[in-house]
Amino acid sequence: MSSSTSSLEARHRQLGLTDDEYARILDRLGRTPGDVELAMLSLMWSEHCGYKHSRRLLRRLPTEGRHLLLGPGENAGAVDVGDGLAVAFKVESHNHPSAVEPFQGAATGVGGILRDVFAVGARPIAVLDSLRFGEPLDSPRSRYLLERAVAGIGHYGNSIGVPTVGGEIYFEQSYEQNCLINAMCLGLAPHERLIRSAAAGPGNVVVLLGALTGRDGIGGASVLASAELGEGDEAKRPSVQIGDPFTEKKLLECCLELLDRELLVSLQDLGAAGLTSAASEMAASGGVGITLDLCQIPLREVDMEPFEIMVSESQERMLCVARPECVGELLAVCERWEVLATTIGGVTDGDALQVLHRGSVVADLPVSVLIDDCPLYDLRPEPPSSELYSPPEAVLGGGESPAETLLALLRSPNLASRRPVFEQYDPIVQSRTVRRPDEADAAVLALPDGSAIAVSIDGNGRRVACDPRRGAAEAVYECAANLACVGAEPLGLTNCLNFGNPEKPHVAWQLTEAVEGLAEACEALGVPVVGGNVSLYNEAPSGPIFPTPVVGMVGRLPDATRAGRLGFAAEGDAIALVGAFEPSAAGSELSKLRGYAPVGELPIVDAQTLRSAHAAVRSGIRSGALRSAHDIAEGGVAVALAECCIAGGLGASVRLPDGLDPFAEAPGRAFIVAGPPAALEGFAVIGQVGGDTLAIAGLLEVDVSELTSARERGLAEWV
């Protein structure tokens, strides 16, 4: 073996390729790859770009629906919302970069998901976030990550003028070393402006738009998200991208004008793996080749090597294809928006991504090798033989009264008011927001014709850790329940699958079961998956995170003025319990406070009963018969009632059905609704709105002011 071959083989391991994968590359190419080619292949064959351990599983998810316009495989999915308009949406993770540098990791996560949405021609109109951290009370690191990640999200969204309208935060010990930063974006577009990423037309021109290309982000998302984080991760800080929302704002407006003028054939975001992934994915989608000249690319640093240019993950960049006769007008539009635009190559016949540098070919790879030949691995799922997660430290001993238990739940980090967080975000910029955070179970955004769209994001790692299949299904059911509470019918779903190391059998089992649960729930509700993201290797030496599939769902309601609220609205209204409510204490918030590990099966769901409950609530809100609706989730029916009292500033007197555990949970199945007594005929009425206390007969009576104080005080101590 020659010394040059030996050094290349050593380098492929450093770049994350296994010996078998390197042998596969040699077989496919019939030669030894050059340095630039090996760098490109290592990223396209990474877990983050290649989905090596999940692609086969994802085929199980249903992707067809009557409202679907764009499905998986595009930068974002899109659904029809009527009146010639489409809503594009997607959720993605920026977990590993945020664990290393939380401000920029979270900020560029927002920037990246915004680009995914306007890459299909939609104007971003809202952002939501789903966050997970370690225990804030016990961990200065978790408090730091929370503070800086929230600041990064607010910085990017507020600066670019896109409202952050909702989200969720959970705190668990399993996320101590691996925080989760999932960002979701929605965009609005006329049908005719939607564009795909597929390059087309040999002879057409490839143009790079946006910021200068630098060394920031080299090996960032694609490398950080393809391996476990361990000791010494401070050294990875330079791999995290740096974001500039003001540059992205100009890029956004420029791209939308180019699309309105019909100057583009295709458009693609530059995210993980930079030019390598953007160019190869565009070529693969269009069945063409692409040639790039690196000497044409504007650089932030003049001495960059060719491989650095090809894998740089510098932010605020887009790649587009245009017809030659349109390039002059394209450049003029970019100049007016002060967006750097440079022709860097062209579309070719054949199946080659060719890269030139100073007149020499430094890479010449079949697109099929970069995209299609990435190995796909069969998982080896096995249920764990013992408990995976240690019990949390007990906060409650079990001898507390029901009133003391309720107040402790409302103060707990997972149930306390998120006001200290969402007040750092602008929820109303663009003037579409009908329901802000804390006003309803789902965010509501008005459409020009008087209708509205609703959106919710949800997941519960503790419940999924108990029972991956049913826990993942619950995330779908709860999102749909949240939409029902504002009167919206689900149109489509996106997801982000956050799991540990899939090469370990117990993690492979969690992932396999969770995907099956998502598929079953989507099929039961008739909701297609329009796209999403997988984030694996969220694992530290102490063990994996809770399996955390996060679901984002978009729905439509016909009248924005009738969007539901969660707070009790009027003295004398009747209160009803809607849905078949058979809750479980497994994985509940009370079980956590009492120091129990997440174990135990979750209840089976009867899909027909669930759909009927959702339809009844949705219909009641749309007709105006119901003045408020709130789904029963974390903390059970007692916490749901308390939240309705707090949000409306009104008390309530109720009597729960015999044998109902007030603190057990079954997300997505049942609701607390309220309205005029005559309107609730046929519902299971359990009480009445009124007074200044929450009184649950035979259980507790607590002033609404005391409930409010407990809930408001929780996170304020740490944020």
What is Dmax (Cα atoms) for the chain?
Answer: 87
- Give CA separation, 5 vs 185, 239, 344, 406, 557, in Å: 46, 28, 32, 66, 62
Please report which helix (H) or strand (E) contains residue 433, including its range: strand 433-435
d(CA 63, CA 69): 11
Beta bridge partners of 164: 127
Please report which helix (H) or strand (E) contains residue 342, including its range: strand 341-348
Q: Which two tokens stand for residue 203?
A: 């002879």
| Nearest alpha-carbon partner for 83 in 448, 559, 445 | 448
Q: Give the sign of the dihedral formed by CA 343, CA 347, CA 351, CA 357.
A: negative
| Residue 542: Cβ-neighbour burial (10 angstroms; 0-12, 13-18, 19+) | exposed
d(CA 271, CA 319): 11
* Alpha helix positions (H), 536-604: 589-593
Is 94 annotated as catalytic?
A: yes
| Nearest alpha-carbon partner for 194 in 33, 357, 76, 307 | 76
632 neighbors 661 (Cβ within 8 angstroms): no
Write down the catalytic residue from 48, 53, 155, 357: 48
d(CA 297, CA 279): 14
Write down the catalytic residue from 12, 53, 67, 94: 94
The b/e string for 330-367 (b: 16+ C-beta within 10 A; e otherwise) is bbebbeebebbbebbbbbbeebbbbbbbeeeebbbbbb
Amino acid at 521: A
Amino acid at 428: I
SS3 readout for 671-693: EEEEECHHHHCCCEEEEEECCCE
Q: What angle do CA 159, 165, 167 make, to 5 degrees?
A: 110
Beta strands in 191-269 (DSSP E): 205-210, 266-269
Residues found in the chain: 719
Please report which helix (H) or strand (E) contains residue 694, including its range: strand 693-696
d(CA 8, CA 717): 53
| Nearest alpha-carbon partner for 206 in 280, 114, 136, 134 | 280
d(CA 7, CA 12): 9
| Nearest alpha-carbon partner for 310 in 635, 515, 40, 58 | 40
Is 48 annotated as catalytic?
A: yes
Catalytic residues: 48, 94
